[in-house]
Amino acid sequence: MTKIEPPRERACERCGRREVWDVGRQVWRALEEDGDRKVGRAHCLHEWDINGTYSPIADA
Ligand SMILES: [Zn+2]
């Protein structure tokens, strides 16, 4: 049996962009903190901090 286990939050190690998973819309969106959107740099090739450990498919 295979089960999808998406992460709920990720951060870019290069520009500091932070995103959260919007479950209802099935999209990543920029995290807002104190009215400030953590969008990072527009042209950054984002390197997400979940890359090393995150595996989209979990074998049960
Ligand atoms: Zn970035």
The tens digit of pLDDT for each residue in 5-50 reads 666 899 999 999 999 999 899 999 999 988 989 899 989 999 998 7
CA 22 to ligand 1 centroid distance, Å:
19
Decide if pLDDT at 58 tops 80: no
Higher per-residue pLDDT: 17 or 60: 17
Say what the pTM is. 0.66
In this structure, which residues have their CB less than 5 angstroms from ion ligand 1?
12, 14-15, 17, 40, 44, 46
CA 53 to ligand 1 centroid distance, Å:
18
Q: Buried (b) or exposed (e) across 20-46, using 16+ Cβ within 10 A?
A: eeeeeeeebeebeeeeeebbbeeeeeb
| pLDDT of 50 | 79
CA 38 to ligand 1 centroid distance, Å:
10
Higher per-residue pLDDT: 51 or 5: 5
